[in-house]
Structure 1
């Protein structure tokens, strides 16, 4: 599945909400933190909230291996990496083989899913537009959660967040699903059966109702079958941002990065994505 990641800096769905502990973390214990200046659960998408436990059956971890592998080649000089909009942690499963990762996502329910498969990593609840961790990383990685920046102002905020968390000489990598040049209407479907007796299937339909604005729509239909055989149907509409490559490069440069576009190398049966790379100048 070509996931549409998360809204203003996130991923989406339901599980107990992470709480920030007032007690110091034990040595070697992964941390879960909540950034106090953010708005929680504002995506409005059940997909990332109460339906989150279905995520592994809708978007399989293995489906991220190739994309994460290519991203790792662009981040290869990094040791520490911050992922904004980390969602269910499926990219992190592959990237943590190469880097020390810190994960940030808007939705506590998606973070709960990520902790199941990445228990050793630090998870922080935060909005990619506003979160400030007070530390910098060798690189910042933002997968298709960036698609939920539906205005240029919000996209600029997310780029600024990446910039302030990137060490001088480091880099930031952004992986939107499409740019204005590459977007095409499409339908997709998938889903798998789980070992616990549950099963999920989905249909997605992406289109651009107004080519003159900066957004597109994706209609999602989910069929979710519980282990006892009960089946639930869910429909959602997701609005996502769409920008020309030139806009990406301009905003990256205005933020302070040295910017370039890279065409993805992929063996998957789809057009390659345009990835955006921002280099943070030395001595800034």
Structure 2
């Protein structure tokens, strides 16, 4: 019998803990340059105030911030200490804070809020709504929040991907397998197999299972609107995703906001 999918709070993901030092070989920082440029252009186009500050919720290894920090003062929030340590080495000039994107409150606002693909780990509508509320609480009036799930229900396709790199006398290769459990409609599973080769040439295989939220486009728009944002859907412009129908969601916070700024 297949294991029942876990909730966001109970997942133990080795990629972000004891395997965190291998993360740059899974997704190298250079691979983020094109999408970071896309995010910056979106913020500049939709922010009704000069975009100078950015809050990155679920910042991971800091690979987006590595490209955005030249234009924006970045504050990075992530749940996992190992990922924050990785990001601090890459982005020592940025502020780093350990926190949960569903509940963290910093008591200040930012011109831009980025919630990258870590938002896909929200496996219930209540968790997703809490994350969007966090983004709203930290978006300045006239500012913009951006959410980028890997998939919505309308674009999801089961499948596999492979990749990995060599570096510092080590190497990583991975196999990703995406599938939907029969008992779930708002969730999919990613089984990851990592083949790790250390500096001595020894190799081992590790399995990691990730549970991801999968919601219709209408749910995203409803929850963004319910948080008091003006919702907007924008096609994701990236050379690797030109024909997939991928998109990002924006939350535009009105300049005149009766709810205040925190």
Normalising by structure 2, report the TM-score.
0.90
| Whole-angstrom CA distance in 1 between matches of 2:216 and 2:241 | 23
2:155 is matched with 182
1:50 is matched with 18
2:205 to 225, 229, 233: 233
Instruction: Please state how far the C-alpha of 1:269 moved relative to its aligned partner.
Output: 5.0
Work out whether residues 11 and 210 of structure 2, in 8 Å CA contact, stay in contact via their aligned partners in 1.
Answer: no
Work out whether residues 89 and 117 of structure 1, in 8 Å CA contact, stay in contact via their aligned partners in 2.
Answer: yes
After superposition, give the CA deviation of every residue in 1:27-77 in whole Å (9 maximum; x if it has no partner).
xxxxxxxxxxxx9xx641111000000001111111111111111111124
| Whole-angstrom CA distance in 2 between matches of 1:256 and 1:210 | 34
Structure 2 alignment gaps of length 5 or more: 1-6, 258-262
2:94 to 106, 121, 125: 121
1:166 to 139, 161, 170: 139
1:72 is matched with 40
| Whole-angstrom CA distance in 1 between matches of 2:27 and 2:211 | 19
Work out whether residues 66 and 266 of structure 1, in 8 Å CA contact, stay in contact via their aligned partners in 2.
Answer: yes
Alignment pair present for 1:157 and 2:125:
no
2:3 is matched with none
Alignment pair present for 1:139 and 2:112:
yes
After superposition, give the CA deviation of every residue in 1:229-272 in whole Å (9 maximum; x if it has no partner).
12121001110001111100000111110111111122115624
Work out whether residues 175 and 273 of structure 1, in 8 Å CA contact, stay in contact via their aligned partners in 2.
Answer: no
- Correspondence 1:1-284 to 2 at 5 A: 43-76=11-44, 77=47, 78-194=51-167, 196-210=168-182, 213-268=185-240, 271-284=244-257
Give the number of equivalent residue pairs: 245
Instruction: Please state how far the C-alpha of 1:120 moved relative to its aligned partner.
Output: 0.7
Work out whether residues 219 and 235 of structure 1, in 8 Å CA contact, stay in contact via their aligned partners in 2.
Answer: yes
Work out whether residues 72 and 95 of structure 1, in 8 Å CA contact, stay in contact via their aligned partners in 2.
Answer: yes
| Whole-angstrom CA distance in 2 between matches of 1:47 and 1:275 | 25
| Whole-angstrom CA distance in 2 between matches of 1:280 and 1:125 | 25
Segments of 4+ moved more than 4 angstroms: none
Tell me the SS of whatever aligns to 2:87: helix
1:25 is matched with none
Tell me the SS of whatever aligns to 2:166: coil
| Whole-angstrom CA distance in 1 between matches of 2:27 and 2:76 | 18
RMSD, matched Cα: 1.6
| Whole-angstrom CA distance in 2 between matches of 1:272 and 1:93 | 27
| Whole-angstrom CA distance in 2 between matches of 1:211 and 1:269 | 29
Work out whether residues 79 and 100 of structure 1, in 8 Å CA contact, stay in contact via their aligned partners in 2.
Answer: yes
